[in-house]
Structure 1
Amino acid sequence: MRDFRDAKAMAQTLRESLTTKAVTISHSESFELVSRMLGVADWNTLSAMLHAERRDLAAPPEKLKTATTLYPAVPLRDLVPFPNATYPMFVGRESSFQALNQAFEGGREVALAVQREAGVDDPRFADVYEIGIVAQLLELEPLRDGTFRVLARGLRRVELRGFATESAAYWAEAVDVSEGVARNARDLIRSIYQRFQDYTAAHGILVPDLWLFFDQTRDAGQIADTIAARMKLPIKDKYELLATLDHMTRLERIEALLNLSQRPVSADYAATKRQALDHADRRRHQYATLEHLLLALTEDANASAVMRACDADLDKLRQSLVQYLDNELKHTVIETGRAEPTAAFKRVDQRAPFLAQELGYPEVTGVNALVALFAETRSPAARLLAEHGVSRGRVDKAIARGVG
């Protein structure tokens, strides 16, 4: 089966086929048509991909460094970096800034170490995880508050053999680690691809040319790292993916994390969803909207507790919702049939299990649906929440206090 690397041959085949049908197109027109068939904006973009592929094939394999190397180091409180991804980092600690200075004066390589506990202000070797990465520093930008924004690209995994402060800068002793031999993971990748599409849609994560990346990338480890870098997970869970060196095992763990069935729906939230549909059916509305769902969430034990913690007057919020449903959705009234959830309703319901996973909830609750609703910024439901003082920030603080 041909792929983007056969673009020129495909263009020639297209011209020849059209010629037999008395249709003539130029070379440039055939290239542009093939580019669009492959999902690429234009021939210039596709040509650049072809040249990049040739460079990758021509590049000699990098030899594994078996000796311990000393790198300037930066400890990370709330970020788990992966190879082949670019990260903005915000640095405020003096020892980290001195390490960055050392790196910029040298080869611009720095070891990134993940802290075990974010609250440790001056970490030592026992305070960081064993596996980190070596990253290439791209740029450094001072900020008004005295901190620095650093842009870095992950290069490869390393095992940390030491981590300490020397000459006012953090330094790490590290050795490259082997990730084993790549194996054929086509079936597993195909399964993960569909689940990751659902995941990005539920979280509103933009991954340009996702299908093209999966189609042209043969490296299972790179695919696993690309997905892991974009997943929203607790630091410990994300670190476990970084520390999983075997490609297949890493992919299998990602598949398990993407599996929505791992988070069952609580009985309360199941009843809340039924109540939302009932609100629509009683009004004979054709669709069950986010406003029907929010009305049901005001009666959900967990979600309503969080809204009250945000100082919301739930009676007034219900009145606003009822007024909207009874007056603004008259045009959706039907004579017979049951209400169908809107696309936005479904997105919130799909997003809720992932949010439960991020928070470590054993099951999906109305709180997760409430948080998921904030992503639908254009909905009247989100507007009404804001008008009654319920914001994403206030909800997050209430959840952090254990409310709901």
Structure 2
Amino acid sequence: MRDFRDAKAMAQTLRESLTTKAVTISHSESLELVSRMLGVADWNTLSALLHAERRDIIAPIAKLKTSTTLYPAVPLRDLVPFPHATYPMFVGRESSFQSLNQAFEGGREVVLAVQREAGVEDPRFADVYEIGIVAQLLELEPLTDGTFRVLTRGLRRVELRGFAIESAAYWAEVVDISEGVARDARDVIRRIYQRFQDYTAVHGIMVPDIWLFFDQTRDPGQIADTVATRMKLSIKDKYELLATLDPMTRLERIEALLNRPQRTVSADYAATIRRALDHADRRRHQYATLEHLLLALTDDADASAVMRACDADLGKLRQSLTQYLDNELKHIVSEAGSAVPTQAFERVDQRAGLHAQEVGNPAVTGVNALVALFPETRSPAARMLAEQGVSRLRIDIARQPGKDKG
């Protein structure tokens, strides 16, 4: 006769039987039904009973001699972890701390589970996503405010089959999952490499080792996880990447996120772009450069206001730019017709759209373009801005709520 120890087998039998009658229920729904059939309030309670039964036989953290494994677990409110990455985490919940103690006393491995809602203080199985990761604990440091800083390294994806509190600690029952067969993804990797350079520049992300990593690694899954770790995305978007098991599909989703359509261009910024091209055309320049763009930005209502708030002398800036365009770019004078934006010009325009998306602007403005210009550190335009004391930091300060914009 079956008892509560056979709950999962019973749930599977129930699902299969209902399927033959054209009734479909989810795995979690079948677990809840079986729990009530066995006289237990819900699956979380039954799962805790199962865990207690197992720990009468085996030590905590030991590998089960089945497809499932029991680990201490930590629920995460605002972080989606990925394999192949090192994470500092700050732990304040007592149950999480007890889980870490269990892990440090055992195999130093813990399941990191992502909460569906950050506001849930005491999450249960229904409050965490199905896919998490097993992570290795590297360091545990107590902080003066009573919380703990934990350094972890992600190892691999797992599927959660249970999540509950027992003996004051979180525990997760998980199964390892396959991520599919890696395929040749050189073309996609090459495109992501190019787009990610602009993305990191726009978002001010420091990745000193990422380009060497791209040169040395051809594993599409590992590349996808490494890029996803560094992208600034919502918890929902990041979790969808974590839950995408096929490496090629994950890479394609990352490329789509990097290529998200730019925001609508404001009327003022559209006029600024046309003005930059006019500056080049009037001088019969073959190319429109960043210096043409910056000269146009000095007359852009949004960008000029921010530069004045940074104490820039716009008259001197225009004079320096005009002298440069008239005297230093004679070698690009041409009778060929309209000026063509340089690659640097196009990069800045593209970054402006990404920056607008990051800060939540409904449309791309001249300020977004001004911020997007700073990564072009070798350009005379960036040098002239620096001479006027205009920097990314000063722009951010000038644009704080309540700050006088000048």
> After TM superposition, is the score higher than 0.5?
yes
1:250 is displaced (CA, Å) by: 0.7
Is the 1:291–1:321 contact (alpha carbons within 8 Å) kept by the matching residues of 2? no
For residues 366 and 65 of structure 2, the distance between their equivalents in structure 1, rounded to whole angstroms, comes to: 50
Amino-acid identity (%): 70
Alignment of 1:251 onto 2:251: yes
The 8 Å contact of residues 312 and 388 in structure 2, kept in 1 or not, is answered as no
TM-score with structure 1 setting the length: 0.64
Question: Which residue matches 2:75?
Answer: 75
Which residue does 2:125 correspond to in 1?
125
- SS state of the match for residue 237, structure 2? helix
Instruction: Give the C-alpha shift of residue 149 in structure 1.
Output: 1.8
In 1, distance between residues paired with 2:83 and 2:140?
A: 20
Deviation (angstroms), 1:240: 0.9
Residue 263 (str. 1) matches residue 262 (str. 2): yes
The residue aligned with 1:351 is 351
Q: Displacement, 1:217? A: 2.5
**C-alpha displacement at 1:277, in angstroms?**
6.5
Aligned partners of 2:134 and 2:154 also within 8 Å: yes
Unpaired runs of 5+ in structure 1?
1-62, 399-404
Aligned mates of 1:64, 1:241 — CA distance in 2: 29
Q: 1:322 to 1:201 in 2, by over 3 A?
A: closer
Q: Which residue of 2 aligns with 1:108?
A: 108
Corresponding residue number in structure 1 for 2:51 = none
Matched with 1:91 is 91
Query: Given residue 263 of structure 1, which amino acid in structure 2 is its aligned partner?
Result: Q
Mark the CA change 1:146 to 1:289 in structure 2 (over 3 Å): closer, same or farther: farther
Is the counterpart of residue 178 in structure 1 residue 178 in structure 2? yes
Q: Which residue of 1 aligns with 2:198?
A: 198
- Deviation at 1:383? 4.0
Instruction: Tell me the amino acid that sits aligned with residue 309 of structure 2.
Output: L
Q: SS at the partner of 1:183?
A: coil
Q: CA deviation at 1:275?
A: 4.8
Q: Secondary structure at the match of 2:141?
A: strand
Give a deviation string over 1:94-152, Cα, whole Å, max 9, x none. 22222222211111111112222333333333332221111101111222333222111
Code of the residue aligned with 2:396 in structure 1: it is: S
User: So what's the TM-score if we normalise by structure 2?
Assistant: 0.64
Q: Paired residue for 1:288?
A: 291
Aligned mates of 2:397, 2:369 — CA distance in 1: 12
User: Is residue 264–residue 363 contact of structure 2 (8 Å, CA) maintained in 1?
Assistant: yes
Instruction: Quickly say closer, same or farther: Cα 1:270–1:85, change in 2 above 3 A.
Output: same
Pair 1:166 & 2:166 matched: yes
Conserved in 1, the CA contact under 8 Å of 2:86 and 2:152? yes
Instruction: Structure 2: state its 5+ residue gaps.
Output: 1-62
Q: Whole-Å Cα distance in 1 between the matches of residues 271 and 187 of structure 2?
A: 37
The Cα offsets for residues 129-182 of structure 1, whole Å up to 9 and x where unpaired, read as 221111101111222333222111100011122333333322222221111222
Describe the shift of the 1:133–1:267 C-alpha distance in structure 2 as closer, same or farther (beyond 3 A): same
Q: Is the 8 A contact 1:202 1:350 kept in 2?
A: no
Conserved? CA contact 1:66–1:176, under 8 Å: no
Corresponding residue SS for 1:194: helix
Secondary structure, counterpart of 1:181 in structure 2: coil
Residues 244 and 340 from structure 1, CA distance in 2 versus in 1: closer, same or farther, beyond 3 angstroms? Answer: same
Q: CA deviation at 1:239?
A: 1.2
Task: Provide closer, same or farther for how the CA distance between residues 236 and 367 of structure 1 changes in structure 2, counting only shifts above 3 A.
Answer: farther
Matches within 5 A, 1:2-401: 67-208=67-208, 210-259=210-259, 262-268=261-267, 269-275=269-275, 288=291, 292=295, 295-296=298-299, 299-300=301-302, 317=309, 320-326=312-318, 329=321, 331-332=323-324, 334=326, 348-358=348-358, 364-366=364-366, 368-369=368-369, 372=372, 379-380=385-386, 383-384=389-390, 391=396, 395=400
How far apart are residue 265 of structure 1 and its match?
4.2
Is the partner of 2:249 in helix, strand or coil?
A: helix
Closer, same or farther: CA 65–201 of 1 in aligned 2, 3 Å: farther
Once the two structures are superposed, residues 273-331 of structure 1 have per-residue CA deviations (whole angstroms, 9 ceiling, x without a partner) of 4456678999999852786466455x24xx89xx8xxxx8x9x6398442441465565
TM-superposition CA deviations, 1:234-287 (whole Å, max 9, x none)? 221111111101111111111212226x22542433334445667899999985
Higher-Rg structure is 2
Q: 1:212 to 1:291 in 2, by over 3 A?
A: closer
Q: Which moved more, 1:167-176 or 1:376-385?
A: 376-385
Q: 1:207 Cα shift?
A: 3.6
Distance in 2, matches of 1:115 and 1:243, equals 14
User: Hey, what's the Cα distance between the residues in 1 that align with 2:139 and 2:196?
Assistant: 31
- Secondary structure of the 1:136 match is strand
Task: Name the CA distance, whole Å, in 1 between partners of 2:250 and 2:176.
Answer: 18
In structure 2, the residue matched to 1:5 is: none
SS at 2:80 equivalent: coil
Secondary structure, aligned partner of 1:391:
helix
Contact 1:291/1:325 (8 A) holds in 2? no
